[in-house]
Amino acid sequence: MTALRHSSRRCDDDVVELVGPPVFELGDKVRALRDVRNDGTYPGRPPGEVLIRAGDVGYVQSVGTYLQAYYIYGIDFYERRMIVGMRAKELELADGSCNAPRDTPG
Q: Is pLDDT larger for residue 65 or for residue 103? A: 65
Classify each residue of 51-78 as buried b or exposed e, where b means 16 or more C-beta atoms within 10 Å of its C-beta: bbeeebbbbbeebeeeeeebbbbbbbbe
How far is the C-alpha of 18 from the C-alpha of 74, rounded, in Å?
16
How confident is residue 12, by pLDDT bands cut at 50, 70 and 90? low
Is the pLDDT reported for residue 1 higher than 80? no
pLDDT number for residue 15:
75
Q: Which fold has domain 3-95?
A: SH3 type barrels. (2.30.30)
Cross-sheet strand order for the sheet of 70-77: 82-86, 70-77, 57-66, 29-32, 91-93
pLDDT number for residue 95:
79
pLDDT tens for 29-87 read 999 999 999 998 889 999 999 999 999 999 999 999 888 889 999 999 999 999 999 99
Q: Among candidates 3, 7, 2, 47, which has minimal Cα distance to 88?
A: 7
